[in-house]
Structure formats: structure tokens, C-alpha cells
């Protein structure tokens, strides 16, 4: 089977690395990919949001399946674009259609979906410039801290958590006034949930659902979860506090009603669902839906999957996922993200990366890297995720950290406390 994978981050390297191990694969292309994906497939210089270019490549290279890594092509409707074109309508696209992608593309849509299908989530109120006064009243009815979310995609920056009511009202006004562009034309105000977060991943064909290994990621730049939010600085899987009781609740209260809800609402869905959950005193609540795998969670979740991922994708496409089960490595996987100094603020690119010949017993998943002649150089804020296995979290982290020290580039930074709270 010839497969085209869209995306260029650590998540895509992990997906490509895994698919490349499948006997079912003939050729794997990654658009646009990074220096790591070029070790397991062929990079092609195509922007995943340029659907015409994607389509032409699919036709010219006899691609038989498209796997979508990031959310943007899904939210922009790559699925319906394919379905509406007679030359590629028969090519399966792994990822939801435009409506399913609204679970990530619109916080308001996601909240209404959860309310309609009795899925546990924080209480909320949805505000536009027209009913801002009602928004202020809702804020007055809540206790601090206050959670404000821009409705649309805002590159992970659209959520504000504020301790003070006056500040919350001021920010609500600023968001509705264009602080996050059109993404904030509608703002969802939420009750604050207090607990510990984790990510749970589901692969579905719209009927059956396989629950993949769960993971915990570390979003803040600084140790002890301080400082600015990033795309993710490291991850651990499995998550010790997600025991079988908790995961049974996730399955019954969240995964099952989500799949049934999509069916009831006539939303076909073939792809990943990423549940951002809060564990509140042992009960799971949905903080957010994403319609893709997580990053850096993929860099620990995908290596723990022993089953053939291409075989699972094929079953997703044909609607036969029910006949499949998941074989999971019981060991713990950890990943530590090496980032460019200055990230998530401004940083330099093009720094030579060394030490590839020194690492041992780990898997390097490239994020922001590219080839520059003979060298591999930095090409983004998040550069390389160093993944390792161990019989427990501490053993895996020891190996991730030993190797994280061996890969080097100018102004390299990483958090040395991944897993500190587990
Ligand atoms: P989101 O983009 O919806 O994942 O929100 C970003 C981050 O804000 C989450 O990862 C949580 O840490 C936090 N957050 C979002 N909603 C809530 C909530 N209702 N209560 C507490 N924390 C929240
Ligand atoms: N690690 C969080 C995300 O992928 O959105």
C-alpha cells in the first residue's frame, strides 16, 4: 500500500516510524516531513493545506491512503475536498470530516455536543459581542479562577485562566474585541476544574473504538510546570493514576457516549479522537477534544502499540475496526523534548545538531529539524523528542535523560523534571 502522511512534527515522525514497520506498506511519503521522517520514508515538499497539490501528488504517485497528522487540514475540510473530487473520492483519508473536526475547531460546538450527549465536562456559557453583559453575569456566578476560551483554533494560545474577576471581565472584552482574531468572535466561559490532567486517545471507524495507551504531557516551559505554555516538553505513558477503575469510567462515561453521539448526530468519523481529560477526585471530565493524535504524546503512545498501525488504519477505512484488537507494550515509555533556546518566544534556527552517533537504547523522534547539506540542523522551537522504554517511569526517564545529554546544538534546552508529579 502507498501511503501519504501529512505533517512535519514529532507526532508525524512517530506515525511514519511505526507505519514503516508494517509489511502492508509499499511506499511512504511525508508532506512536508522533517529530517527524521526522511529516514523512514520520502519527504515531499507540499503544504498539507494546499489540497490541490495534495490531490495531484496522490494521483501521480498512486497513493492508496492519506493519513492526516495535524488538525488544520481536517478543520479546513480535506475530507470533503477528496469526497467531492471523482479522481480521489475513493481514496481513504484517515481523519474526520469537517463536521467531526469541529470538535476541535470550535469550543462551542464541542461543549454543545457534550451537553447534548451527557458527557461530563465543566459548566459553561457561550458569549459573543451581542450578549457580553450575560457573560459578565455568568462570570459573577463562578468562583475564581476564571477560564476563558476563544472558540476557534488559536494555535494553542486561545485559553486564558485568570484569578481575578475584574481581569476576567477585561480579558473577555478584549477577546471579543479581536485579541485572538476571528477565533475569539465567540468565547466560551468555563467553570474551573481542579485536578490532574491526562490525554486519552481513541481510534475509531465511527462504530467501534479502540482505546490507545493514555499519556501525560508537560506543557509549560519551566520546571515544576511554570512559565509559558509550549507545544509540549515531554510525556509519560502509562499514567500511574489512570488505573483500571478510572479507565473504565473514561470508557463508559466519555468514549462510549462520544462515539454514540457522533452516530446520533449523523457525523461520520474515521480517525483519532484525543480526549484532554481532568481527573477530578477520581472522576474524568473532558477539558477538550482534539481530532488528531497529541504531540509529544504520540512519541510515547505510538511506540507502545505493538499492533500493525497500517492494518488498523485499513480497518478504520473499511469500517471493520470491530474485528481488531490492540496489542500494547506493558513497559513505560517516556520522552524528553529538546527545544531551541528562547522557545516558546523567539529563537534561532539552522543550528547544527550533533551526537546522533552517540545515543543508545532510545528512539529519536525529530520535530523541528531539516537537512542542510550533510548536516542536520534545527528548524523549529521543538527540535527532537528523546523516547526511551523502562520497566517503570524512573528507569525510562534515566535513559531518556542520558541520551538527551548526548544530542547537542547551540542553546539547547530541556526540562529535567518530566514525570515529577506522578
Ligand atoms: P485547552 O486548549 O482547552 O486544552 O486548554 C488549555 C489548558 O487550560 C488545558 O490543558 C488545561 O490545563 C487548562 N484548562 C482548560 N479548561 C479548563 C477548565 N475548565 N478547568 C481547569 N483548567 C482548564
Ligand atoms: N500535547 C497536546 C497537544 O498535542 O495538543
Among candidate residues 312, 333, 318, the one with its CA nearest the CA of residue 203: 312
Q: Summarize pLDDT for 353-362 with one digit per residue, the tens.
A: 999 999 999 9
Backbone angles phi and psi of 183, in degrees to 5: -55, -25
Beta bridge partners of 366: 384
The rounded Å distance from CA 296 to ligand 2 centre is 7
Task: Tell me, using a 6 A CB cutoff, whether residue 192 lines ligand 1.
Answer: yes
Pocket test for ligand 1, best of 159, 175, 217 (most atoms within 8 A of CB): 159
> 396: exposed, middle or buried (C-beta count within 10 Å: 0-12, 13-18, 19+)?
buried
Among candidate residues 356, 334, 336, the one with its CA nearest the CA of residue 407: 356
| Secondary structure (3-state) at 399 | helix
88 and 132 in a common domain: no
Q: Is residue 341 one of the residues assigned to a domain?
A: no
- Proportion of the chain above pLDDT 70, given as a percent: 100
pLDDT of residue 155: 74
pLDDT of residue 328: 98
Q: Summarize pLDDT for 234-261 with one digit per residue, the tens.
A: 999 999 999 999 999 999 999 999 999 9
Q: Summarize pLDDT for 4-33 with one digit per residue, the tens.
A: 999 999 999 999 999 999 999 999 999 999
Among candidate residues 2, 413, 364, 75, the one with its CA nearest the CA of residue 222: 413
Location of C-alpha cell 470533503: 80
| Secondary structure (3-state) at 199 | strand
Task: Write down the mean pLDDT value for the chain.
Answer: 97
* Contact indicator for 209, 319 with CB cutoff of 8 Å: no
Beta bridge partners of 257: none
Half-sphere exposure of 411 (CA within 13 A, CB side): 15
Please name the residues in contact with 38: beta carbons below 8 A apart, sequence gap of 6 or more.
30, 371
C-alpha cell at 294: 497529541
54 and 130 in a common domain: no
Return the number of other C-beta atoms located less than 10 Å from residue 170's C-beta: 12
pLDDT of residue 146: 96
Mean pLDDT along residues 70-84: 97
Among candidate residues 386, 336, 333, 383, the one with its CA nearest the CA of residue 363: 386
Q: Which among 95, 112, 142 is the end of a domain?
A: 95
> Which residue, by CA, sits nearest to atom 5 of ligand 2?
294
* Whether residue 156 has pLDDT greater than 80: no
pLDDT of residue 183: 87
CATH number of the domain at 178, please: 3.30.1490.20
39 and 81 in a common domain: yes
Q: Which ligand is nearest to the CA of 157?
A: 1
Q: Is residue 35 one of the residues assigned to a domain?
A: yes
CATH number of the domain at 86, please: 3.40.50.20
* Whether residue 180 has pLDDT greater than 90: no
Q: How many domains does the chain have?
A: 2
pLDDT of residue 32: 98
pLDDT of residue 251: 98
Task: Tell me, using a 6 A CB cutoff, whether residue 294 lines ligand 2.
Answer: yes
89 and 13 in a common domain: yes
pLDDT of residue 7: 98
Give the model's confidence band at 225: pLDDT under 50 very low, under 70 low, under 90 confident, else very high: very high
129 and 91 in a common domain: no
Location of C-alpha cell 476563558: 148
- Which of ligand 2's atoms lies nearest the C-alpha of 295? 4
Question: What does the chain come to in residues?
Answer: 422
Q: Is residue 7 one of the residues assigned to a domain?
A: yes
Task: Tell me, using a 6 A CB cutoff, whether residue 295 lines ligand 2.
Answer: yes
- Entry pTM: 0.96
pLDDT of residue 234: 98
User: What span, in angstroms and rounded, lies between the C-alpha atoms of 77 and 33?
Assistant: 21
Location of C-alpha cell 508525524: 12
Q: Is residue 292 one of the residues assigned to a domain?
A: no
79 and 19 in a common domain: yes
Q: Which among 141, 160, 190 is the end of a domain?
A: 190
Question: Helix 107-116 to helix 98-105 angle, to the nearest 10 degrees?
Answer: 100
Of 26-30, 149-153, 329-333, minimum mean pLDDT range = 149-153
Give the model's confidence band at 153: pLDDT under 50 very low, under 70 low, under 90 confident, else very high: confident
Tally helices (H) and strands (E) across the chain: 13, 23
- Proportion of the chain above pLDDT 90, given as a percent: 96
> Which residue, by CA, sits nearest to atom 2 of ligand 2?
294
Q: Summarize pLDDT for 385-403 with one digit per residue, the tens.
A: 999 999 999 999 999 999 9
The rounded Å distance from CA 287 to ligand 1 centre is 6
* Whether residue 157 has pLDDT greater than 90: no
Return the number of other C-beta atoms located less than 10 Å from residue 222's C-beta: 12
Q: Is residue 384 one of the residues assigned to a domain?
A: no
Q: Is residue 105 one of the residues assigned to a domain?
A: no
80 and 160 in a common domain: no
Give the model's confidence band at 181: pLDDT under 50 very low, under 70 low, under 90 confident, else very high: confident
86 and 155 in a common domain: no
- Which of ligand 1's atoms lies nearest the C-alpha of 195? 21
User: What span, in angstroms and rounded, lies between the C-alpha atoms of 196 and 192?
Assistant: 12
> Looking at residue 1, what DSSP letter applies?
-
9 and 91 in a common domain: yes
pLDDT of residue 360: 98
Of 71-80, 104-113, 179-188, 338-347, minimum mean pLDDT range = 179-188
C-alpha cell at 339: 527545544
pLDDT of residue 346: 96
Task: Tell me, using a 6 A CB cutoff, whether residue 288 lines ligand 2.
Answer: no
Q: Is residue 128 one of the residues assigned to a domain?
A: yes
Return the number of other C-beta atoms located less than 10 Å from residue 248's C-beta: 10
The rounded Å distance from CA 258 to ligand 1 centre is 19
Q: Which among 163, 190, 217 is the end of a domain?
A: 190
pLDDT of residue 321: 98
Q: Is residue 84 one of the residues assigned to a domain?
A: yes
C-alpha cell at 14: 512517530
| Domain that residue 173 falls in | 124-190
Task: Tell me, using a 6 A CB cutoff, whether residue 9 lines ligand 2.
Answer: no
Please name the residues in contact with 418: beta carbons below 8 A apart, sequence gap of 6 or more.
218, 233, 234, 235, 236, 334, 335, 336, 397, 400
| Secondary structure (3-state) at 371 | strand
Pocket test for ligand 2, best of 157, 234, 273, 274 (most atoms within 8 A of CB): 274
User: What span, in angstroms and rounded, lies between the C-alpha atoms of 350 and 370?
Assistant: 8
Amino acid at each position: 500500500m502507498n501511503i501519504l502522511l501529512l505533517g512535519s512534527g514529532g507526532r508525524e515522525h512517530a506515525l511514519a516510524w511505526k507505519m514503516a514497520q508494517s509489511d502492508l506498506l509499499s511506499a511512504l511519503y511525508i508532506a512536508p516531513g522533517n529530517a527524521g521522517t526522511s529516514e523512514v520514508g520520502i519527504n515531499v515538499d507540499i503544504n498539507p493545506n494546499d489540497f490541490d497539490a495534495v490531490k495531484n501528488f496522490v494521483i501521480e504517485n498512486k497513493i492508496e491512503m492519506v493519513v492526516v497528522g495535524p488538525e488544520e487540514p481536517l478543520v479546513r475540510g480535506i475530507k470533503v475536498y477528496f469526497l467531492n473530487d471523482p479522481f480521489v473520492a475513493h481514496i481513504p483519508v484517515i481523519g474526520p470530516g469537517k463536521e467531526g473536526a469541529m470538535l476541535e475547531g470550535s469550543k462551542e460546538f464541542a461543549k454543545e455536543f457534550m451537553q447534548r450527549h451527557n458527557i461530563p465536562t465543566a459548566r459553561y456559557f457561550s458569549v459573543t459581542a451581542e450578549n457580553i453583559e450575560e457573560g459578565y453575569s455568568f462570570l459573577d456566578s463562578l468562583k475564581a479562577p476564571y477560564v476563558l476560551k476563544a472558540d476557534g483554533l488559536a494555535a494553542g494560545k486561545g485559553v486564558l485562566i485568570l484569578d481575578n474577576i475584574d481581569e476576567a471581565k477585561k480579558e473577555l472584552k478584549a477577546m471579543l474585541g479581536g485579541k485572538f482574531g476571528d477565533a475569539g468572535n465567540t468565547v466560551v466561559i468555563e467553570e474551573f476544574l481542579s485536578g490532574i490532567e491526562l490525554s486519552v486517545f481513541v481510534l475509531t471507524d465511527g462504530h467501534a473504538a479502540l482505546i490507545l495507551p493514555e499519556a501525560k504531557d508537560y506543557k509549560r516551559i519551566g520546571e515544576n510546570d511554570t512559565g509559558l505554555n509550549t507545544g509540549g516538553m515531554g510525556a509519560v505513558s502509562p499514567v500511574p493514576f489512570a488505573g483500571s477503575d478510572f479507565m473504565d469510567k473514561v470508557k463508559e462515561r466519555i468514549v462510549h457516549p462520544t462515539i454514540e453521539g457522533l452516530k446520533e448526530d449523523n457525523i461520520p468519523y474515521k480517525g483519532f479522537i484525543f480526549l484532554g481529560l481532568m481527573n477530578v477526585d477520581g472522576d474524568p471530565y473532558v477539558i477538550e477534544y482534539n481530532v488528531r493524535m497529541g504531540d509529544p504524546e504520540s512519541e510515547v503512545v505510538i511506540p507502545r502499540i505493538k499492533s500493525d498501525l497500517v492494518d488498523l488504519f485499513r480497518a478504520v477505512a473499511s469500517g471493520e475496526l470491530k474485528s481488531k484488537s490492540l496489542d500494547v507494550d506493558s513497559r513505560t515509555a517516556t520522552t524528553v523534548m529538546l527545544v531551541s533556546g528562547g522557545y516558546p518566544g523567539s529563537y534561532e534556527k539552522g543550528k547544527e545538531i550533533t551526537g546522533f552517533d552517540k545515543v543508545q537504547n532510545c528512539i529519536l523522534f525529530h520535530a523541528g529539524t531539516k537537512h542542510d547539506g550533510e548536516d542536520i540542523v534545527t528548524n523549529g522551537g521543538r527540535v527532537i523528542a528523546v523516547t526511551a522504554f523502562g520497566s517503570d517511569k524512573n528507569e525510562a526517564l534515566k535513559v531518556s535523560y542520558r541520551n538527551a545529554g548526548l544530542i547537542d546544538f547551540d542553546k539547547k534546552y530541556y526540562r529535567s523534571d518530566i514525570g515529577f508529579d506522578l
